[in-house]
Structure 1
Amino acid sequence: MLKNIKFKFFKWMLRELENTRREINHTRECTIGNSTTLAAEAKVENLARGKERVVIGNNTYIRGHLLTYGHGGKINIGDWCYVGEGTKIWSMDSISIGNRVLISHNVNIHDGTAHSPIPDERHAQFKAIITSGHPKNVDALPGIKSKAIIIEDDVWINFGVTVLRGVRIGKGSIIAAGAIVTQDIPPGTIFMNKVTPVIYEV
């Protein structure tokens, strides 16, 4: 009798721990396709609310952080994609990622400027976020700009890349490690930033 009670309690505890883990790491406000995995380190914060604002296709594996802002944003990730650990995909406008896209670790994809360039506005926005949470209305965010990002099918984005607002990356392109993408990339292109090494004698 006692063993049976302990077993039931143990099963209940495991179920509650799993539910708590899911609640902490993944907001329920998203749409997930068949055979898609949100790994333990993944995080989905859909502050804009509505399951249609974060849509992940079939057979995709997410290890990074997906976020929509309180005043808006939309993230759409296709089928058979990978989002690496430490990667942040944050939207206040729209980020569309095609099928079979591989996004490596520690990549930043942001479709907005996040803060005003004017110090007083920037401080007021920061203070409001800390004290009241993300604003629900774009009028409360003067000086902030956003523009949609489109990443087409079969793109490979390497380690440590930054993709900024308004960019389209064409089908089958490869973005080299550490690149900063601020312009459209044509299909079938390898894109890298020029790096000039400086070597000094010790």
Structure 2
Amino acid sequence: MRAKIVRLLAMVRPWIAFSRAGVKAPRATSVGRPPILKIKGDVKIGARAHFRTVQLRPRIAVDRGATLTLGDDVFLNEGATIWASESVTIGDRVLMGNLSTIYDTNAHEVRPGEGVPHGSCRDRG
């Protein structure tokens, strides 16, 4: 009985979190709490995404006008972070390890005095 309750919670928690953020996440599950979501743009999550959040919750941020696409069977481990400033696409069956980070923006100066460049990372070659 306890195992059934744990499996049910693993499905319900992320569904509630993503639903509150206006995101459909078909059959998403999590061990522990659901990821931290800051969604202002468009998010598409494939089937069976899984989030491991026992100690450090993954963070997903999507800026206004940006797009984040996660494929089927994607796994985000403890503390993984995705920040889509314009567009981030992660394919099917991708596993992100502890504390891994994916940003599509340069949110800080690289060389002193240059300032923070704006626009897509692709535009900067």
Question: TM bucket by the smaller chain?
Answer: 0.5 to 0.7
Contiguous gaps of at least 5 residues in structure 2:
1-11, 53-57
How far residue 116 of structure 1 moved from its aligned partner, in angstroms, is: 6.0
Mapped contact 1:27–1:44 kept (Cα < 8 A)? no
**1:65 equivalent in alignment to 2:54:** no
Name the structure 1 match of 2:28: 36
Of 97, 100, 103, the match for 1:107: 100
Residues 48-197 of structure 1 mapped to structure 2, 5 A cutoff: 48=41, 53-63=42-52, 64-69=58-63, 71-115=64-108, 143-147=117-121, 166=122
Cα deviations across residues 53-80 of structure 1 (Å, max 9, x unaligned)? 11111111024111012x4321111111
- Aligned-partner Cα distance in 1 for 2:44–2:62: 12
Q: 1:26 to 1:88 in 2, by over 3 A?
A: farther
CA–CA distance in structure 2, aligned partners of residues 45 and 107 of structure 1: 18
RCO higher in structure (CA 8 A, sep ≥6): 2
Runs of 4 or more consecutive aligned structure 1 residues displaced over 4 Å after TM superposition: 115-120
Deviation at 1:93, TM superposition (A): 1.0
Q: Give the structure with the larger strand fraction.
A: 2
Q: Please, what is the CA RMSD of the aligned residues?
A: 3.3
What is the identity percentage for the equivalent residue pairs of Structure 1 and Structure 2?
A: 23
Distance 2:39 2:80 in 1: 16
Number of positions where the alignment pairs a residue of Structure 1 with one of Structure 2: 104
Contact 2:25 2:49 in 1 (8 A): no
In our comparison, the structure showing a higher alpha carbon Rg is 1
Consecutive unaligned residues of structure 1, counting only runs of 5 or more, are 1-17, 123-141, 148-165, 167-182, 184-202
